[in-house]
Amino acid sequence: MSVGDIAGIIAAGAFVLLVGLAAVPLIKLGKVLDEARRLVRGVTDETVPLINGVTTTVQHTNHQLERIDAITANVQQVTTNVSALASLFAATVGSPVVKVAAFTYGVRKALADRKRRDVEKRIKAEMKAAKKRGRDAAGEEER
């Protein structure tokens, strides 16, 4: 074996050692990539049903919102109808009711005034009679 052969064997050994040292990080990198692939697959497997569930929930929510829109429109229509009915009632019945109320108030007031006047007359008559009796009694004592 010559010096060139030995140098070739040493160079080949160094190359094998270099390839071996370079292979270790490549193998670890391969394991990391495999783990990343499994993680992405797991996320994909869990995300697809989650997205389907969200889609179903959004569709259900949209359906409920459509129902609420219909209910709101009906409530608005009922409110308009009630307002129109109240205006009609006030215009039709309101004026006569106010007149009747004013009339009954006037009648009550007149009756109360009449009763008050009768009471005042009676009290004045009693006071007059009491005064007269007092004068009559005082006149008899002087005699």
How far is CA 41 from each of CA 35, 73, 90, rounded to the nearest angstrom? 10, 48, 72
- For the full predicted model, state whether its pTM sits above 0.95: no
Q: Write down the pLDDT at residue 134.
A: 75
Q: What does the pLDDT look like over 79-135, one tens digit per residue?
A: 999 999 888 877 777 677 778 888 889 898 988 888 888 888 999 998 888 888 877
- Where residue 2 falls (left for φ over 0; alpha for ψ -120 to 50; beta otherwise) is beta
Q: Write down the pLDDT at residue 96.
A: 76
How far is CA 10 from each of CA 4, 6, 18, 23, rounded to the nearest angstrom? 10, 6, 12, 20
Distance in Å from the first CA to the final CA of the chain:
187
Q: How far apart are CA 25 and CA 28, in angstroms?
A: 5
**Could you tell me where the beta strands, DSSP code E, fall in 35-107?**
none
Q: How far apart are CA 16 and CA 5, in angstroms?
A: 16
H helical segments located in the chain = 3-89, 95-142
Q: Write down the pLDDT at residue 140.
A: 64
